[in-house]
Amino acid sequence: MELSINISGQASNQRDENFRKWKAESFPAQIPPDDDPKKLMDKELYKYAEEDKFDELFGELRRVSSAELSSIIYTQVSPSGNSLLHVSASNGSKDVTELLLQHFPLLMTRKNFHKDTALHLAAGAGQLRTITVLINKAKGHGEASDFSSFLEMKNDRGNSALHDAVINRHHEVARFLVSESSKLLYTQNNERKSPLYLAVENSIDKQSDDKMFTILLDAIPDDVDLLNKLEGKSPVHAAVQGSKRSKILIFFYFSIYVPL
């Protein structure tokens, strides 16, 4: 038993040391070739990103030419148009995600064929560890307005990352995202539905999800004009008295059951 613990600890220490080595490594600065045709990603590289095998992945990246490196990072994609960062973030590969952001930060805002960023896919998959890495990197990358824009980026359905977390019922991811910006609660998608609106829908359907509703409800600042924030699907303009929960449920009732 003691031997297995020692072996495990040694392996962990070696991994940490290798991670620090790759973090300190230098790669040529790259300009994304947006006009280049996309190429199918190498299966081995995909697997390395999926399984958090950063030694193998960055060992391959270290061996290629600058031109080939640019192609691998910005042109080679999965059948859905996912970059290596999309793959690592959506699979919870924390170390690969952190290293890709360290050396190729422009991947942070790259979109797949459905206009999903890596944050969208990580939120939809409930990968809180990689979401934390993405958020921390975004905070230190540019101005505060850049960070807000990153959080609010939409895919081809008009969904933000918070929409996708709510739709897939990933409670802790949603809690984390709204702790970064309560504005996300009211951002509307192409159906003019906000994450808060979707949470209300989910709280009264056959698979009732009161926990998500409560998480988002608790994130609403007390001084918010709720009815104005919840515009979009509802014709309600009258002032509604009572608790935040009552306001939202009444709002939802009018928007769904009262014809325009």
**Residue 126: band (very low, low, confident or very high) from pLDDT cuts 50, 70, 90:** very high
DSSP 160-229: -HHHHHHHTT-HHHHHHHHHH-GGGGG---TTS--HHHHHHHHHTSTT--HHHHHHHHHTS-TT--HHHH
What does the angle CA 78 – CA 161 – CA 34 come to, to the nearest 5 degrees?
Answer: 40
- What is the token pair recorded at 7? 């072996």
pLDDT above 60: residue 4: no
In the chain, % helix, strand, coil (3-state, to 5) comes to 60, 0, 40
The rounded distance, in Å, linking the Cα atoms of 29 and 118 is: 21
Q: What pLDDT is recorded for position 121?
A: 98
pLDDT above 70: residue 35: no
User: Are 61 and 102 a contacting pair, CB within 8 Å?
Assistant: no
pTM, two decimals, is 0.85
Mean pLDDT of the chain: 84
Question: CA 33 → CA 113, 144, 193, 204, distances in Å?
Answer: 16, 27, 35, 47
The amino acid at residue 22 is: W
Condensed to tens digits (0 to 9), the pLDDT of residues 180-212 reads 999 999 899 999 999 988 888 887 765 667 899
